[in-house]
Structure 1
Amino acid sequence: MILQDVNLDGQTVRLTLAKGRIAAIEPTPGPATQTVLSLPVEPHVHLDKTGTISRCRPKAPGLFGAIEAMAQDKANWTAADLRNRITAGMDEAWAAGCRAIRSHIDWNEPAVPLAWDIAAEVAQAWAARMPLIRSSLSGIDLLGDPDIGAQIAARVAQDGQVLGAFIYRHPDLETRVPFVFDLAERFGLMLDFHVDEGLEVEATGLDLIVAEATRRGMGTRVLCGHACSLAIRPDADRAMDALARSGMALTVMPTTNLYLQDMTPGRSPRLRGLAPAQDLRAAGVPVLLGTDNVCDPFYPMGLHDPLESLRLATLAAHLAPGDWVDAITDAPARALGLAPQRLAVGEAADFLLLPAPDVLAALAHPGVPRQVIRGGALQT
């Protein structure tokens, strides 16, 4: 296969593909008509929750209204229901061109949740195509319990997955956060935190995570998501500098945080609710973009599609999209422990082919058109 007039990292080239690999890259004169990007990596979704909005509309606004609606829906989470919805999310991410995906799975009691095991079955079925990495998601009050936390961590380690916690102005964080790090060190686990998902200056759980990761030299094994309060904290610059020094990355969620934050019935929102992506990157923090929730009480619309996350972030966070492609490719790959993909001679011919001369033009319309190339062949 030969692809003409391709924009590859800002240069117009001719790509030759052979035997599933990039056989040649040759500069050519003239403008590009199509753009090649590495396959995206999805760092943050909730496949156990996806596709439930039609049966569990929140009765109260904001994050905690969505949490309550989701809790009530769990009576419907049979093995068949979970398998169908998780598989549908995987199908959607695959069609979008994803290379790998990390999904948080609610773990709200000591027993192993059914969703954890069903997601494992789906992951096994997909292993040859697109890895599904599972991260447990427990409130820090549960995970911070000495007996229960160790039990959860042991099972997560047995399965070779990721330990996760939800933190939002919980009591005793000064004790519980170090304990979760103790678990990670004891069981050899990566950590993924939902932290400070709200617009209150008192939401400073991120600082404790950063301090602990820095003290233990674990920054590259820890990922945080949300950190919405950075948008309003008067000491945000100090917090972002500390985050950068720790080596940790942060996932920004354009859809869910725009939708849930500053939500008051009968009043238009005044605040966007997003962590300050540009400021974070300027401070030296690796910034990722995550899809988060899709068609559930936390966000009643959406697709499992990192390009759509980039498109919305371009609008909401005033990004130059061509400069932020790494937020859906290399940066999440590194944060998830994967090797970044290289588009070079001899490397696998796995990439997105966008019918536009550059990324901005490609994102001009919803439902970003693309062709997905895997192993040098068009994915159908």
Structure 2
Amino acid sequence: MGSGFATLPSEGRYRLANATVPAALLRGVDMAPPEAGRPEADLVAVDIVINDGVIERVGPPAASEIATLDLDRGMVLPCFVDSHVHLDKGHIWPRAANPDGTFAGALATVAADREANWKAEDVRARVTFALKAAYAHGTAALRTHIDSLPAQIGISWPLIAEIREEWKGRVDLQASSLCGIDVVVENGYLDRLVGALKRAGGGLGAVTYMTANLADGLEQLFSTALAQGFRLDFHVDETLDPGAHSLRLIAEAALRFGWAENGNGRIVVGHCCSLAAQGEEEAQRTLDLVAEAGLAVVSLPMCNMYLQDRLFGRTPRRRGVTLLHEMKERGTPVMVASDNTRDPFYAYGDLDMLEVYREATRILHFDHPVADWPLTVTGTPAEVCGFSGRGFIGPRLGADLVLFRGRTWTELMSRPEADRTVIRSGAAIDTTLPDYRDLDSLWS
């Protein structure tokens, strides 16, 4: 079990006493707002009463006769929601390392490995390994992108549907298709993909970049999504080229198609790196359109720090993240997520959302004040992706929580918190991480 605290009751009614919770993550709780202007002003002290796997009460610390575990001000977060990952690419690094760490190197290496190795047994082993890690770290829901080139559709989509059922009750799993926008316009491609997505319950997505086929590809994707009831999730402008502006074109398409009134949930756009390299006038224009169109934006700070602005023998100048502060100021929902893990696009990572949030805080300045930035890995992706009941702490919500020893933000984010306790439906789970040796048979 998680070693941070004593073993919790496996069922029944008990109290987590003297917990510290970010005020922004509380729902349905009547408490005085935190005192503004003081350090850690966004944190509140509460007791959390859990009854048969559901949160019964959240309120100020108070004496009680029920079974109690005193957290000694340790921080409690709702289980994480990871809104952008690549389970099917994960953990191929031992046989498919990026030769130079560049984006071009990643594309070529993954393409070769996919063609040679991505049979059902291989993909299943790696996806399962990744889900075990995410679950142990405290993630309760995630959205993965599935490579959907024609030769892979019949392998990966039936498999991801099976795995989603197998993991029900542990990790809520969504999936969206992924291919280049040039592939979308190929004759017969969307018809074949739509059938696979319908059978597997998937969403529709693509990588958008500046190409002659971009306008036609967007037209086909929006038309298909509206006609078939798919959600849309794009990889957008993953480059520092200021001439890449497919984000603006997606926002314009969303407005033209009336997506906010007629579509299936918010359109999610990931990366959007080029926006930070554009001139002020162009960036402001795009930011306004993104807000008007109701898009939601996910930044992938660890992967994009790894890939962007990389030239051999030259120190990188730019961070590769998008303008989240400016987006949030306009009311655009913003998130951060894991992206790739141990594959040519990112050599590291373990689907640990505490690590993602910790690094995002440093890279994107989610502090001074912290305010409601913790929503980027909890409540906002839950609401944007449609993971009902996830991402918040409050009465009548499931007792799916992560307990940490750290009592303040500086304590929480200065250590890996490997001894965290993960509670699912009121009971502590086994947080033993899968051993990398479990995958050795894939390389031998």
- Report the TM-score range of the alignment, normalised by the length of the smaller protein: over 0.9
Pairing 1:181–2:214 present: no
Which residue of the partner structure matches residue 12 of structure 1? 45
Bigger shift: residues 139-148 or 239-248: 139-148
Secondary structure, in 3 states, of the residue corresponding to 2:94?
A: helix
Q: Provide the C-alpha distance between the structure 2 equivalents of 1:368 and 1:242, rounded to a whole number of angstroms.
A: 41
Q: Is contact 2:157–2:196 with CA below 8 Å preserved after alignment?
A: no
Q: Which moved more, 1:63-72 or 1:51-60?
A: 51-60
Correspondent of 1:42 among 66, 82, 94: 82
Picking from 396, 401, 413, the partner of 1:351 is 401
Residue 77 (structure 1) shift: 1.8
Q: Distance in 2 between matches of 1:242 and 1:340?
A: 30
Aligned-residue offset at 1:372? 1.1
- How far apart are residue 120 of structure 1 and its match? 2.1
Distance 1:116 1:167, change over 3 A: same
SS in 2 for 1:237: helix
Task: Name the residue aligned to 1:241.
Answer: 288
- Segments of structure 1 that go 5 or more residues without pairing to the other structure are none
Counterpart among 113, 126, 141 of residue 73 in structure 1: 113
Secondary structure at the aligned position of 2:77 is classed as strand
Contact preservation (8 Å) 1:143, 1:149: yes
Instruction: Output the TM-score relative to the length of structure 1.
Output: 0.94
Structure-1 residue corresponding to 2:422: 372
Aligned with 2:139: secondary structure? Answer: coil
C-alpha displacement at 1:190, in angstroms? 0.4
1:120 aligned onto 2:161: yes
Say which of 57, 61, 71 aligns to 1:28: 61
Q: CA deviation at 1:113?
A: 4.1
The equivalent of 1:162 in structure 2 is 203
Q: Are the equivalent residues in 2 in contact too, given 1:110–1:148 (CA < 8 A)?
A: no
Give the Cα–Cα distance (whole angstroms) in 2 for the partners of residues 240 and 33 of structure 1: 40
Map Cα deviations across residues 110-165 of structure 1 (whole Å, 9 max, x no partner): 66241222222221211232122111101111112352123212321232210110
CA deviations over 1:60-112 (Å, ceiling 9, x no partner): 44212101001111212222211110000000111111111111111122662
Q: CA RMSD in A?
A: 1.9
Length-normalised TM-score, structure 2:
0.81
Is structure 2 residue 386 aligned with structure 1 residue 337? yes
Report 1:131-142 matches (<5 A).
131-142=172-183
Structure 1 residue 379 displacement after superposition: 1.5
Deviations for 1:212-259, whole angstroms, at most 9, x for unmatched residues?
Answer: 112223244311100000111111121111101111101100111000
Cα 1:361–1:214 shift into 2, 3 Å: farther
Aligned-residue identity in percent: 34
Which of 324, 339, 344 is 1:277 aligned to?
324
RCO greater where, 1 or 2, for CA within 8 Å and sep 6 or more? 2
Task: Give the aligned length.
Answer: 379
Match of 2:277 in 1: 232
Alignment pair present for 1:265 and 2:265: no
Is residue 2:338 matched to residue 1:291? yes
Secondary structure of the equivalent of 2:315?
coil
Q: Secondary structure at the match of 1:55?
A: coil
Q: Name 2:266's counterpart in structure 1.
A: 221
More deviation, 92-101/331-340: 331-340
Distance 1:26 1:222 in 2: 36
Deviation at 1:333, TM superposition (A): 0.9
2:135 corresponds to 1:91? no
Q: Contact (CA 8 Å) 2:335, 2:377: kept in 1 or not? A: yes
Q: CA offset at residue 32 of structure 1?
A: 6.3
Larger Rg: 2
Residue in 1 that maps onto 2:39 = none
In structure 2, what residue type is equivalent to 1:36? V
Q: Quote the Cα distance in structure 1 between the aligned partners of 2:365 and 2:58.
A: 33
> Aligned with 2:20: secondary structure?
strand
Alpha-carbon distance between aligned partners in 2 of 1:294 and 1:19, rounded to the nearest angstrom: 35
5+ long unaligned stretches in structure 2: 1-13, 24-42, 63-70, 431-444
Aligned mates of 2:54, 2:274 — CA distance in 1: 44
Checking the alignment, whether the CA contact within 8 Å between 1:289 and 1:306 is kept in structure 2 is: no
Aligned residues of 1:110 and 1:151 also touching (Cα < 8 A): no
